[in-house]
């Protein structure tokens, strides 16, 4: 059976609440990614993003962040930049955004800026992520931010 015949995708294509539909696309995308099929994972995440559009929760920015991560990790930095920019705008505008989600999005953004050689932007994103991780008491996030800021010459 081809991944395109996965019964979860048939259910995801049906009308209904976006949450379960997005989860189905993301689950199959994660499996494709684990198999090294980045192109299919991106395609599936793009479908998940389209389903999540119009949802009033943080489902869309969360899905965008994960799509951005795949794009960044595959070296498609320009595409990742656009996706992260939309995710950040939505996260910052949504009253229901948790500090943890925002910190994780900033971490992803910082990694992309760093990979693109935009050191000043990377430092800003890492600094904000570090502050949020600190407020939340997430020591691994603070430590990773400190290592990155040290690597970038600010600590």
Of the three residues 83, 108, 126, the one that is the final residue of a domain is 83
Which domain covers residue 126, as residue numbers? 98-155
User: Does one domain contain both 4 and 79?
Assistant: yes
Q: How many domains does the chain have?
A: 2
In this predicted model, what pLDDT tens digit does every residue of 46-81 receive, in sequence order? 999 999 997 889 999 999 999 999 999 999 999 999
Q: For residue 14, what is the domain's CATH number?
A: 1.25.40
Residues of the chain where predicted confidence (pLDDT) is lower than 70: 1, 155
Question: C-alpha distances in angstroms, 112 versus 21, 76, 146?
Answer: 28, 10, 17
91 within a domain of the structure (yes/no): no
27 within a domain of the structure (yes/no): yes
């Amino acid at each position: 059976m081809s991944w395109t015949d996965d019964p979860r995708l048939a259910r995801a294509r049906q009308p209904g609440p976006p949450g379960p539909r997005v989860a189905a696309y993301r689950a199959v995308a994660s499996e494709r990614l684990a198999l090294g099929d980045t192109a299919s994972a991106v395609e599936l995440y793009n479908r998940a993003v389209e389903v999540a559009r119009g949802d009033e929760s943080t489902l869309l920015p969360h899905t965008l962040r994960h799509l951005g991560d795949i794009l960044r990790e595959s070296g498609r930095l320009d595409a990742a930049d656009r996706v992260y920019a939309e995710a950040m705008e939505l996260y910052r505008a949504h009253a229901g955004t948790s500090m943890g989600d925002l910190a994780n999005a900033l971490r992803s953004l910082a990694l992309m800026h760093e990979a693109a050689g935009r050191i000043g932007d990377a430092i800003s994103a890492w600094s904000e992520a570090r502050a949020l991780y600190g407020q939340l008491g997430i020591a691994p996030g603070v430590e990773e931010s400190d290592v990155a800021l040290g690597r970038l010459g600010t600590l």
